[in-house]
A and B are shown apart, each in its own frame.
Chain A
Amino acid sequence: MKFLEKNLVALDVAATSAEDAIRAAGQLLVEEKLVEAHYPDAMVDSYKTNGPYFVLAPQIALPHARPEDGVNEASVSFVRLREPVVFGNPANDPVTLVFALGASSSDEHLQIIQKLMKLLGDSANVEALKTVSNYEEINLLIGGN
């Protein structure tokens, strides 16, 4: 399981569309070989097919696809967008914080979802993620890797 490790985090990434933002977060997983190169395509396909339901809280998107779309290991990356992007979810737009989930079918899937919920279930953490200036501050929020 790889959860918001240093190479899986990018702050203030430029994206002009939801698809850009999804691909930016997905690419971090690809580069670490946690998912196959086509996984971001599957994430974008899901967005186009099912809509922006994965914008699951104000400013927070959790794009993902299925385990069989090329997930090698349960993983979560994080991209903070330089400018907020509209995903088409009226209740929670615009999106600033994008967490790409490499959804695995292993037991680690549940564990990694619980880690994510622990982080994002605390609104103080969410506020902090909007303003942190480097990885070390994020590492403190998640309790170290």
Chain B
Amino acid sequence: MKILCVCGLGQGTSLILRMNVETVLRELGISADVENTDVSTASSMAPDYIVTSNELAQTLEGTASKVIIVNNYFDMNEIKTALQNNLS
């Protein structure tokens, strides 16, 4: 399973999200390949899941990947719930 954490530039915001997603996945006992990148290259990497903010999710409409929205990147409970509800 490949998960891509996406932000505008692929520098700071998506790295924070990636580290918190990795922490939550460890807690859930789920193993996945997690990477972070910018919004313009995300679709071409064809991940199974894209985790991003509501703003960028709109930009990613039409991608084949399942898009998971997180609003508060520091809220581990929100990230956990979002992943549990969407990963299959």
Contact = CB atoms under 8 A, between A and B. Distances in A.
Interface residues of B, number: 23
A84 B77 CA distance: 26
B72 A91 contact: yes
Contacts of B76: 121
A138 interface: no
A91 B55 CA distance: 10
B23 to A, nearest CB: 10
Q: What size tier do the contact residues of chain A reach?
A: 20 to 34
A53 B12 contact: no
A56 B74 contact: yes
B3 interface: no
15 contacts: A49-B8, A50-B8, A53-B13, A53-B52, A53-B53, A54-B7, A56-B17, A64-B12, A67-B11, A89-B55, A92-B72, A103-B9, A103-B12, A109-B11, A110-B15
Interface of A: 46, 49-54, 56-58, 60, 62, 64-67, 89-92, 101, 103, 109-110, 113-114, 116-117, 120-121, 123, 126
